[in-house]
């Protein structure tokens, strides 16, 4: 078996990454979105990195997958007493990573090194890799101007209609050596785009200078999993955003966002009727149970996705002969 790379973010992405991790352990590298990173109270928060870290370490909350289990809120309560901001609501355990990240960055360490240190400390053998050590910020364009995704989410509560996105500094950001190593691995078997919002979770990674070209040139099967099931995003605002952007808020709409990039697309069984029309976009389609309720669901979907990628590889080999 070779190595696997996932491009992932959000809770859904972390769940699939966990399935892949259980199957492939240290042979998995997960490239994670940092476009939704934000500063709060002077600390550098990387929500997608930390969600991934807690999930692969097996310490993520079952109910609130973005934070550690048994989270408490003593700091937040005292912040409120002292006149601090109400939002975002900070968990106590969730504060540790930003605090150490702040110290590490101030000491000249790269975000990637800091993240790999966390992996080591938590016993995570897969490599969790920020998409870049350079700051990229996703802005949501609204009728009232551009706001960071952080403000769109926390202050505007995702209410204003989305007119577009900007990925500030993505064009100048560099892929880290660790990301390049993962994608250049001699036995790279597949690249998986995990189920997550295509606009602010996955797209920032694809906008880093050279990323799309590298993914295409590399040639390993590139497979995306839908974050939309039966016309609804399980969590988050992908469906709402797609409608506001004039896209079809379905799995097919998501597949369209990855046109000319991916080789295969995984839709849920409830969306089997869409398979043919998605295939007509020029990609292979797998129909599978994509709802990940249990750990077994995560592993089963991961296995299905890897098998799908293997099938694409084999088909290609046949085509070449």
Interaction site with a copy of itself (CB under 8 A):
41-43, 68, 72, 74-75, 77-79, 81-84, 92-97, 99-100, 102-103, 106, 117-118, 120-122
The DSSP code sequence of 116-166 is HHHHHHTT--SEEEES-SS--EEEEEETTEEEEHHHHHHTSTT-SPP-EEE
Distance in Å, CB of 80 to a copy of itself, minimum: 9
d(CA 256, CA 105): 38
Using CA atoms, how far residue 64 sits from 71, 227, 274, in Å, is 9, 18, 31
Distance in Å, CB of 103 to a copy of itself, minimum: 5
Which lies closer to a copy of itself via its Cβ, residue 30 or residue 222? 30
Which lies closer to a copy of itself via its Cβ, residue 106 or residue 320? 106
For the record, the structure tokens of 256 come out as 């369209």
Which lies closer to a copy of itself via its Cβ, residue 106 or residue 273? 106
d(CA 128, CA 197): 19
Q: Positive or negative CA dihedral for 274, 276, 281, 286?
A: positive
Distance in Å, CB of 88 to a copy of itself, minimum: 13
Which lies closer to a copy of itself via its Cβ, residue 93 or residue 127? 93
Q: Positive or negative CA dihedral for 12, 116, 110, 224?
A: negative
Phi, psi dihedrals of residue 70, rounded to the nearest 5°: 55, 40
Please list, in sequence order, all residues whose beta carbon lies within 8 angstroms of the beta carbon of residue 229, skipping any fewer than 6 positions away.
Answer: 251, 268, 270, 271, 290, 291
Distance in Å, CB of 125 to a copy of itself, minimum: 16
Distance in Å, CB of 167 to a copy of itself, minimum: 26
Distance in Å, CB of 85 to a copy of itself, minimum: 9
Which lies closer to a copy of itself via its Cβ, residue 68 or residue 195? 68
d(CA 40, CA 146): 19
Which lies closer to a copy of itself via its Cβ, residue 78 or residue 156? 78
Give 303: exposed, middle or buried? Use CB within 10 Å, 0-12, 13-18, 19+: middle
Distance in Å, CB of 127 to a copy of itself, minimum: 17
Which lies closer to a copy of itself via its Cβ, residue 119 or residue 302? 119
**Spatial CA neighbour of 194 closest among 274, 56, 305:** 305
């Amino acid at each position: 078996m070779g190595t696997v790379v996932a491009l992932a973010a959000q809770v859904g992405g972390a769940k699939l990454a966990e399935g892949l991790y259980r199957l492939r352990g240290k042979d998995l590298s997960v490239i994670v979105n940092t476009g939704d990173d934000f500063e709060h109270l002077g600390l550098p928060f990387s929500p997608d990195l930390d969600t991934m870290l807690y999930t692969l370490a097996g310490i993520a909350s079952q109910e609130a997958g973005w934070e550690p289990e048994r989270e408490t809120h003593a700091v937040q309560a005292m912040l409120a007493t002292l006149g601090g901001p109400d939002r975002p609501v900070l968990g106590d355990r969730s504060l540790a990573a930003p605090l150490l990240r702040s110290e590490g960055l101030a000491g000249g360490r790269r975000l990637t090194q800091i993240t790999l240190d966390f992996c080591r400390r938590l016993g995570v053998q897969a490599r969790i890799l920020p998409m870049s050590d350079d700051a990229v910020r996703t802005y949501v364009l609204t009728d009232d101007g551009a706001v960071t995704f952080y403000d769109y989410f926390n202050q505007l509560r995702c209410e204003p209609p989305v007119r577009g996105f900007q990925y500030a500094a993505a064009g100048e950001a560099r892929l880290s050596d660790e990301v390049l190593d993962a994608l250049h691995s001699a036995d790279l078997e597949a690249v998986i785009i995990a189920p997550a919002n295509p606009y602010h979770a996955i797209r920032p990674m694809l906008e880093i200078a050279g990323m799309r070209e590298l993914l295409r040139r590399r040639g390993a099967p590139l497979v995306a999993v839908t974050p939309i099931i039966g016309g609804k995003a399980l969590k988050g605002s992908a469906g709402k955003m797609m409608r506001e952007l004039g896209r079809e808020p379905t799995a097919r709409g998501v597949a369209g966002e990855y046109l000319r990039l991916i080789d295969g697309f995984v839709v849920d069984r409830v969306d089997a009727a869409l398979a043919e029309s998605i295939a007509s976009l020029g990609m292979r389609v797998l129909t599978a149970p994509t709802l990940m309720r249990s750990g077994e669901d995560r592993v089963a979907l991961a296995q299905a996705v890897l098998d799908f990628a293997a099938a694409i590889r084999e088909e290609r080999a046949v085509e070449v002969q």
